Chains A and B, each alone.
Chain A
Amino acid sequence: MVPAQYYLVLSAALFCIGVFGVLTRRNALFFLMSVELMLNAANLNLVAFSLQHGNLTGQVFSLFTMALAAAEVAVGIGIILVLYRNFEGVDVTKATTMRW
């Protein structure tokens, strides 16, 4: 069986790629993708420890995290649409105020 460390290192790599994306990207769509990467890193951890402890709670929890991620993407895409409409682009650094 694969040791838990391998899953954790993979998850850390995925999370750091997400952090890098959030820190550097200016396009809101890529921003959203990076947040998804970080969420999936957390999911990987949950499933890995579910296997480690022989308990299904982590797997069910990761399912719910995926549902929450879907909800987050739905709202995020809506916000990106509004961003595009009001700022003529999806550059997150242009939108510096909550009102316009």
Chain B
Amino acid sequence: VTTRPELVDMDSSRLLPGLAAVALFLVMAAAFVTAGFGAAAGFPGGSVTAGIGYAMFDLLDLAAIGSEGFLITFLIIALVLDAALEAAVMLARREGEGEPLEAYDEADADTGAEDADPTAGTPGVAADGGPRKGGER
């Protein structure tokens, strides 16, 4: 038996969040549409891309469009991205139970198997270094 699609499922747990999101949108849209912002100033002179570059490196004397200097922010963001990369690697690797990466084995490469499993030589170890479950993959 096929059932027709319903636009709103009254029993769904998504109904209330959906209504909340729509109500939030209506309030925000009403506030924005009734607000008067005047005409946009725009960027009449100079290149926007060049201005962003100058702003990032605190070269404000060369910029044709007004901005603030962001050199310190640039350095802080560089550190934060580095820390995030480090954190992602730390979270992704397993503790113990083999190495996360297998060393390149020329003997395996010489067999000519293009789609060979890189961890095939070490039974019981998955690609990320953890124990391989039976029937997985």
Contact = CB atoms under 8 A, between A and B. Distances in A.
Contacts of A79: 91
B66 interface: yes
B67 A57 contact: yes
B135 to A, nearest CB: 14
Contacts of B55: 56-57, 60
Given A59-B48, A68-B80, A82-B91, A53 B41 contact: yes
A96 B33 CA distance: 41
A85 B93 CA distance: 11
Interface stretch (B16-24, B99-107, B113-121): B16-24
Interface residues of B, number: 48
A25 B10 CA distance: 17
Interface residues of A, number: 41
Given A51-B40, A85-B130, A9 B29 contact: yes
Given A15-B24, A24-B13, 14 more contacts: A1-B40, A8-B32, A9-B29, A9-B33, A17-B21, A20-B21, A52-B40, A54-B43, A55-B66, A57-B67, A64-B70, A75-B84, A78-B88, A85-B94
